[in-house]
Copies of this chain bind each other. A is one copy, B any other.
């Protein structure tokens, strides 16, 4: 049973405020046997104080052993079963750069690449071309006209851009054209179902037209497309939880994800401190705040243990500013683990804490992977976290008589 069938029926309104602080890729691993994780190494007196007051546990992003991408990781935290709701990477990225994706649209992530004279890929990322050079090229591709569809192109960063086709009968099930190798040409777009044949044909026309427009480019004279995806059908936070929700994020993808579940993306912030400024400004206007901190993940992906420790400490440092606002429920978690040891996302449970006046305290005296094992939240699937947030906020009525 979808938990939203319950929350729709049971949610109530009050003045409670819920803050969910998401340190991306928070969970880690020791780099040597018997060692401590990044979180356990970091000095986090503020998070430790919350762990003492609150209840801790381990969030399993999807199912044990499943490593999620950012999409499923966040959907789980937002209470949307990540096995039920699938968001294509293209749709996510499109939303993240502010494109309004509708149910007539299919989006794809694109990379500029370098092709040799025979059309074979020599660099899958066009030499990681600078954004100043690549962005005008993406804009140039807006000139492409295809019968029966509208074409939208947005630059992202370096070699990356997004293409979105709008029209009738566009399915999202088209295979990636990136061969994940050099020395071979990009693959042709192939539809995986009947509904997506038109999309594949449109994509092929787009690629052909783009090749002509880019022919004189030294680095970015070709492109690959991946993550084709139609608009995902996600019910909104307001509808399923009765929450006016705001997202405060720096990176486009997390803004995009929050928009897909109906959160307002508020403020312009480049640093964590600025994010808390935005939180403070919007405090009275929303019931729920999702605050996304990226750098615990990116340092983990770089395999930089010490840098991840430093980012966790930077994250810890803003906690008092959040608590000063007096949230009814404060949650600290991550969308998945990103151990520097693995230099990638992982399946390990994510240290999670929840503080409210009516959480049942547990023996946890600090915030870390091992301490959380003895915590009162136990190990739980991330998709249940929003139920706990609502009940601790007094916004969920009794189920049944």
Q: Is A300 an interface residue (CB 8 A)?
A: no
Q: Is A286 an interface residue (CB 8 A)?
A: no
Q: Is A63 an interface residue (CB 8 A)?
A: yes
Report the separation of the CA atoms of residues A100 and B3 in the bound assembly, to the nearest whole angstrom: 34
Q: Is A374 an interface residue (CB 8 A)?
A: yes
Instruction: Indicate if the CB atoms of B33 and A387 lie closer than 8 Å.
Output: no
Instruction: Indicate if the CB atoms of B401 and A66 lie closer than 8 Å.
Output: no
- Report chain B residues within 8 Å CB of A72: 399-400
Instruction: Indicate if the CB atoms of A391 and B65 lie closer than 8 Å.
Output: yes
Residue interface bits A338-367, CB-to-B below 8 A is 1, else 0: 010110111111000000001011110000
Report the separation of the CA atoms of residues A134 and B341 in the bound assembly, to the nearest whole angstrom: 60
Min Cβ gap A176→B in Å is: 12
Instruction: Indicate if the CB atoms of A363 and B370 lie closer than 8 Å.
Output: yes
- Report chain B residues within 8 Å CB of A65: 384, 386-392, 396
Instruction: Indicate if the CB atoms of B400 and A71 lie closer than 8 Å.
Output: yes
Residue interface bits A55-74, CB-to-B below 8 A is 1, else 0: 00010001111111111100
Q: Is A369 an interface residue (CB 8 A)?
A: yes
- Report chain B residues within 8 Å CB of A58: 378
- Report chain B residues within 8 Å CB of A339: 358
Q: With A58-B378, A347-B391, A358-B342 known to touch, is A400 a contact of B87 (CB < 8 Å)?
A: yes
- Report chain B residues within 8 Å CB of A68: 398-400
Q: Is A86 an interface residue (CB 8 A)?
A: yes
Report the separation of the CA atoms of residues A322 and B388 in the bound assembly, to the nearest whole angstrom: 36
Instruction: Indicate if the CB atoms of B391 and A71 lie closer than 8 Å.
Output: no
- Report chain B residues within 8 Å CB of A62: 399
Q: From DSSP, what is the main secondary structure of chain A's interface residues?
A: loop
- Report chain B residues within 8 Å CB of A33: 53, 361
- Report chain B residues within 8 Å CB of A334: none
Min Cβ gap A369→B in Å is: 6
Instruction: Indicate if the CB atoms of B67 and A388 lie closer than 8 Å.
Output: no
Report the separation of the CA atoms of residues A84 and B341 in the bound assembly, to the nearest whole angstrom: 37
- Report chain B residues within 8 Å CB of A189: none
Closest to A384 in B: B64
Report the separation of the CA atoms of residues A345 and B67 in the bound assembly, to the nearest whole angstrom: 34
- Report chain B residues within 8 Å CB of A379: 378, 380
Q: Is A117 an interface residue (CB 8 A)?
A: no
Min Cβ gap A92→B in Å is: 6
Min Cβ gap A48→B in Å is: 15
Question: Which of B370, B374, B378, B399 is the one whose CB lies under 8 Å from A66?
Answer: B399
Q: Which of A69, A84, A399 has the most B CB atoms < 10 Å from its CB?
A: A399
Q: Which of A67, A84, A387, A398 has the most B CB atoms < 10 Å from its CB?
A: A398
Instruction: Indicate if the CB atoms of A384 and B63 lie closer than 8 Å.
Output: yes
- Report chain B residues within 8 Å CB of A82: 399-400
Interface residues of A in 129-146 (CB under 8 A from B): none
Interface residues of A in 209-229 (CB under 8 A from B): 227
Q: Is A373 an interface residue (CB 8 A)?
A: yes
Q: Is A124 an interface residue (CB 8 A)?
A: no
Question: Can you pick out 20 interface pairs between chain A and chain B where the beta carbons lie within 8 Å of each other?
Answer: A10-B66, A33-B53, A64-B380, A64-B387, A65-B391, A66-B387, A68-B400, A70-B401, A72-B400, A82-B399, A87-B401, A347-B387, A347-B388, A347-B391, A347-B396, A348-B360, A362-B370, A363-B373, A373-B375, A374-B374
